Structure 1
Amino acid sequence: MTSTLAHAKIVLRRSSERGYAEHGGWLKTFHTFSFAGYWDHRFMSFGSLRVLNEDRVSARNGFPTHPHRDAEIFSYILSGELTHRDSMIKKGAEGAQGKQFYRMHRGDVQFTTGGTGEPFLSLIGRNRVLKMISQVSHTRSRTKWPEAAVSHQEFCREEKRKAFVPILSPLAAGPEATPAEEDAAVPKIPDTIPIHADFVMGAGIIAPNETFKWNVGAGDVVESKKKRNVYIHLPMTKQGKSKVKLNGREEAVLEEGDGAFVTLVNAGDLLQVESVGEAEAEVIVLDSN
């Protein structure tokens, strides 16, 4: 397949070169960017994307209560189940599923607005999760932040098998949103999760020999149209059997756990992602200013 974006620069981030850590026997995690005990000055952030961790969590374990301030944290469930419990709710007294207690399954997304830093507790069953953190819009005043909030949203797997499905998009009201607009939480792309950044996330499940195209910047959705920063990640979900090729380039083939920094692209450019492995490839696209 011939590349349609000869001007795009693609630099690979191999899985074997990522940071790695084990915590107490219950968490194994790979770090694309500097995080916790892993530090590499070459990998501090990419556009608005600050953290991309691929976590493997053992059964009946999870992250303790911890605050998040001035950050947007989103977790994409690759396998298993994730249970969120507000720190004010005692275990065993959750009641019906709602805003303060809910369970998520493969393909669902948990989103946390750090806001003022109220703590939340996420209890996780055995699963694999992509955890990402974005830097918020620099124009937003800290005094305008809403209180911390956690939400979740389900995304249809069958739709992901047809094309890239938008997951996150900027808050429609932008950096100067009023409290009422914050509460309404209307995203620029319908049925996505709003984020306080010039950022779009998508996910697709690509069958072998099929090609999906990612519309950089999702058209007119983003503010910064030039020199977008697009990170493409192929999670470890198929025991090494999935593989993708970017823009028809033989030197840009991702195996499971690999990622790619794509630069010199603009809103409206179409990035091609071709599945060239034995199994379907679940691909995550993180597109920011």
Structure 2
Amino acid sequence: MSKALSHAKIVPRRSGDRGHADHGWLNTYHTFSFADYYSSQFQHFGSLRVLNEDRVAAGSGFPTHPHRDAEIFSYILSGELTHRDSMVRKGAEGMQGDDFYRMKRGDVQFTTGGKGIAHSEGNESDGEVHFLQIWALPWSRGLIPRYHTRTFDENAKREGFVPILSPLKAGPGANAAEEEAAEPTLPNTIPIHADFVMGAGIIGVDKRFKWTVGGNAVKKTTDRNVYVHVPMCKNGSAKIRLDGREDAVLGEGDGAFITGVNAGDVLSFESIGEAEAEVVVLDSD
């Protein structure tokens, strides 16, 4: 098949080449350098800094820990993950909110680390939780810490890519009121302090989706950095082909670095496996 975007360079990142550690309570794969995994080649990609695919056993999790100067988000694939602010204790949380949230499939929980914040993420359920933990580098340091949580519809993801994150509409010069309003560039998305768009879709067998680079939401329009990831959700039965290229076929756990693309370019995705393929697109400056 011919390449629809002949100017694009697509380099797969195979699942087995990622950093990997199994701690018993945590089985984790790292696309980029993180914790005990270091690679001089894989430090970041545009403003994308971390992409971890984690499975956490029941009754386990990450105890209270600090973050600063990073945009951090969790995309839940299965199971349940409980976020707690450093001031919230189990049994005293009350209703779901920014400080406390039990995340399930379809939920995305977002944290602006900014000048400093502490929280915990734990699996308080009886089964395993599977999720992606993703970090992006913000456009400025010392931001006011903030949480956002939003649920994204499964049926909509089966119709096409659903925008998940888009840049804060007010941009890097946002004042306190604009930060508080937290209006994203794209409606019904979570605002991020970066020239960054995230989308997610569930592509049925033999179906095709398209992603417009930049998502009609970014300032930098040339030389975008698009990372595509296929989570390990279908016991190895899901597979996609990018841009009609036989050398850009991705299985579960695989990803791909896409460079040389500009805002407005249309990237094609074809599901060629035996099961529907969940796909996450991370489109950064």
For 2:59, the aligned partner's letter is: R
Q: 2:97 — aligned with what?
A: 98
Q: 1:89 — aligned with what?
A: 88
Q: 2:154 — aligned with what?
A: 157
Q: Does 1:5 align with 2:5?
A: yes
Q: Where do residues 1-289 of structure 1 align in structure 2 (5 Å cutoff)?
A: 2-23=2-23, 25-124=24-123, 125=125, 126-137=128-139, 140=140, 142=142, 145-146=143-144, 148-219=145-216, 221-289=217-285
For 1:20, the aligned partner's letter is: H
Classify the secondary structure of the residue corresponding to 1:94. coil
| Distance of 1:92 and 1:112 partners within structure 2 | 22
| Distance of 1:141 and 1:82 partners within structure 2 | 28
1:70-119, Cα deviation, whole Å (9 max, x unpaired):
11001100111111122212211222222222211112101010022121
| Distance of 1:97 and 1:136 partners within structure 2 | 27
Q: Give every structure 1 segment of 4 or more consecutive aligned residues whose post-TM-superposition deviation is greater than 4 Å.
A: none
User: TM-score, normalized by length of structure 2?
Assistant: 0.97
| Distance of 2:161 and 2:25 partners within structure 1 | 32
| Distance of 1:6 and 1:118 partners within structure 2 | 44
How far 1:177 moved relative to its partner?
0.2
**Structure 1: which 5+ runs fail to align?**
none
Conserved? CA contact 2:157–2:202, under 8 Å? yes
User: TM-score, normalized by length of structure 1?
Assistant: 0.95
The CA RMSD over aligned residues, in Å, is 1.0
How far 1:60 moved relative to its partner?
1.2
How far 1:175 moved relative to its partner?
0.3
Identify if the C-alpha distance between structure 1 residues 276 and 87 changes in structure 2 by more than 3 Å, giving closer, same or farther: same
| Distance of 1:287 and 1:97 partners within structure 2 | 30
Classify the secondary structure of the residue corresponding to 1:218. coil
**Greater CA drift, 90-99 or 111-120:** 90-99
Conserved? CA contact 2:115–2:141, under 8 Å? no
For 2:64, the aligned partner's letter is: T
How far 1:141 moved relative to its partner?
5.1
1:166-213, Cα deviation, whole Å (9 max, x unpaired):
000000000000000000000000000000000000000000100100
Classify the secondary structure of the residue corresponding to 1:112. strand
How far 1:3 moved relative to its partner?
2.7
**Greater CA drift, 152-161 or 98-107:** 98-107
| Distance of 1:100 and 1:34 partners within structure 2 | 29
| Distance of 1:141 and 1:273 partners within structure 2 | 35
